[in-house]
Amino acid sequence: MKVRKAIITAAGWGTRFLPVTRSQPKEMLPLVNKPLIQYTVEEAINSGIEQVILITAMGKHAIEDYFDRYFELEYVLEQKGDTKMLQEMRRLSNLIDICYIRQKEQLGLGHAVLIARNVIADEPFAVLLPDDIIDSRVPALKQMIDVYQQRGASVVAVERVDARDTAKYGIIEPKEIFPRLYQVLSLIEKPPPQEAPSNLGIVGRYVLAPEVFDALAATPPGRIKEIQLTDALQLLLKQHAINACEFEGVRYDTGTPSGWLEATIALALKDPDIGPGLRQYLDKLLPG
């Protein structure tokens, strides 16, 4: 069955960016000339997704407004004769079919996925975390959907992490199928290095079979009272296969100020309008 729907989670507090996220959703922070959330939505579109389910929370109206029509602005641009920008504003409001679901309590990623069950129904679907921006020739999600279509089982995105950082990720126990493709034998949420079965960490992309909803419904909250998607996948694994795709591309963790800055510089340097001037400035700032 075709993967037509994607859940994008955007309900977090963004505490690592306080105080700016007190009134501004983290997902609306600019990355070069677009907000973070737009990169994720465009990755979904470029991967063949037809509908996006955005999980939001109180104080996230700016996200909904961003993808809506802005008739007053369009009128101003039309009067100015700025046809190029007018077309871009209209394109933004017609990118894709988007529906919004409020997560009324911060009960974890697993809970955020579970509340979209009625919209997803009995279809396979994708999950994208907008903190993870992946720069790749072929969208990372498209790489994973191709694996799902070939093998007919859920797929998680993984990348190799430093052994000291396993406690920051869900870690898989892998069995190699092909280069960069693994059968998942087990998963463990944020293990200390001495307990990690590998250094392949799960990052913010998933393609999931609808059976995961039953697993999520049966998953109890963890030690911080959140339902973890990794725990549900471990439960799902008892009856259904899961594969892991070590995607081709560069991931930036924009959920931290340092990661956001790294992504901003890296993507700006690739921009044909911004890159040359920025490179000259960095050369002057960091001589030698």
* Secondary structure class of 256 (helix, strand, coil): coil
**Pairing mode, if any, of strands 200-208 and 154-160?**
antiparallel
Confidence at residue 59, expressed as pLDDT on a 0 to 100 scale: 86
Place of tokens 């109206």: 61
97, containing H or E segment: strand 97-102
Confidence at residue 249, expressed as pLDDT on a 0 to 100 scale: 96
Confidence at residue 288, expressed as pLDDT on a 0 to 100 scale: 62
Confidence at residue 202, expressed as pLDDT on a 0 to 100 scale: 96
Confidence at residue 165, expressed as pLDDT on a 0 to 100 scale: 93
Domains of the chain with bracketed CATH: 5-255 (3.90.550.10), 256-288 (no CATH)
- Single out the residue of 1, 6, 4 nearest to residue 54, CA to CA: 6
Rounded Cα gap, residues 10 and 102, in angstroms = 10
Confidence at residue 13, expressed as pLDDT on a 0 to 100 scale: 86
- Indicate yes or no: pTM above 0.85: yes
Radius of gyration, alpha carbons of the chain: 20
Confidence at residue 106, expressed as pLDDT on a 0 to 100 scale: 86
| Cβ atoms 200, 170 nearer than 8 A | no
Residue ranges in the chain modelled with pLDDT below 70: 288
- What tokens appear for 43 in the block? 């990755």
